[in-house]
Amino acid sequence: MKLLARIGLTAGLLLLVCLLIWQGVMDVVQLLVTSGWGLLWLHLVWLPNFLPATYAWWLLFKREQSPNFVQALLAMWMGRSVNNLLPVATIGGEVAKARLVSLWACKGTDASASVIVDKTVQVLAVLVWGLAGVSLLLSSSLDDQLALIALAGFAVLALCITGFFMFQKAGMIGILTRLGGKLIKTDSWEGISLSAEKVDATVLEIYNRKTNFVLAVCFKVMGLVLQTAEVWLACYLLGHPIGLVEALMLKSLTSTLSDVAFVIPNAYGIQEGAFIVIGALIGLTPDVSLAVSLAIRIKDLVFDPAGLLTLHQIESKQLPQRSNAA
């Protein structure tokens, strides 16, 4: 998985560089510079989406065994930083989230089960969000062929989600653990298998709380919808205003394509290519679309390094404790 993620990162960055060279680096930079400090407002517009996304994850915990909302928010922030900056195929961030809340508030089995189900919630939200964008594309008759291709892709995604859900219901962690036990011989494997069974049981408990699960998907979709504002504002600040419906379609389809390319950290290159293709349908030139994509990435330079540094400091404090325990 590490090798695949590193290959994905390299390929994504190469694609991003090629797109910049194709459109002219200085032309794109000029568009960003002429917009001035106003682009910093994109951070404030983007931040609110974090609240419903965090609440969606928080809903998956039992109330008596859950982190508080601030702890969940901080774990979400640091998990996002790991996924965006490190070649971990969006898995490392989930591991970081689980570890943090297990350090602060709950048992490891509850934390692990929550992030497994949260992954299902995320994918379901992306499916709903992407279908909303395709619906707008079909209703506007901008590119029916592209919309039909996208619908076929969503049908495949729906099958994958169903398979992932059934795998979880069958005891995913236990199955993987037993497979690992056949490959790795160790005396401690019995304890690992027992923990895996507890995680699987907790996953089933979460799914049995159907109201919370459905609410989690709804809140996750709400967070995605709120991200539309940053695209609308970015286009406005770059001097190429678009309507809210167009912004919603642009953000929906580009973010869905980016999420599908999960092997590439932060969808480098993929997001930019998606903006160029979808942006052309609503009248944006390639250089403007590329500038919009880069503008909404500015927040990554502000929030993600800080999140990774904070996580490093937390883990550094754990090292002396482990040494003393040993």
Low-confidence ranges of the chain (pLDDT < 50): 189-190, 323, 325-326
| pTM greater than 0.85 | no
Query: pLDDT at position 317, please?
Result: 78
> Which residues contact residue 116 at a Cβ distance below 8 angstroms, ignoring those fewer than 6 apart?
168, 172, 173, 199, 203
Ramachandran quadrant class, 283 (left: phi over 0; alpha: psi -120 to 50; beta: rest):
left
82: tokens are: 């790991």
Sort 322 into a burial class: Cβ within 10 Å, 0-12 / 13-18 / 19+. Answer: exposed
CA distance linking residue 219 with residue 125, whole number of Å: 9
Nearest to 13 by CA among 251, 264, 253, 257: 264
Query: pLDDT at position 61, please?
Result: 92
Nearest to 122 by CA among 174, 72, 52: 52
Under DSSP, is residue 239 helix (H, G, I), strand (E, B) or coil? Answer: coil
Encode pLDDT of 212-263 as tens digits: 999 999 999 999 999 999 999 999 988 889 999 999 999 998 888 887 776 7
Query: pLDDT at position 192, please?
Result: 60
Query: pLDDT at position 187, please?
Result: 52
Sort 312 into a burial class: Cβ within 10 Å, 0-12 / 13-18 / 19+. Answer: exposed
CA distance linking residue 163 with residue 135, whole number of Å: 25
Query: pLDDT at position 20, please?
Result: 67
Query: pLDDT at position 29, please?
Result: 67
The domain spans of the chain are: 41-317
DSSP 65: G
Q: Which H helix or E strand runs over 224?
A: helix 210-226
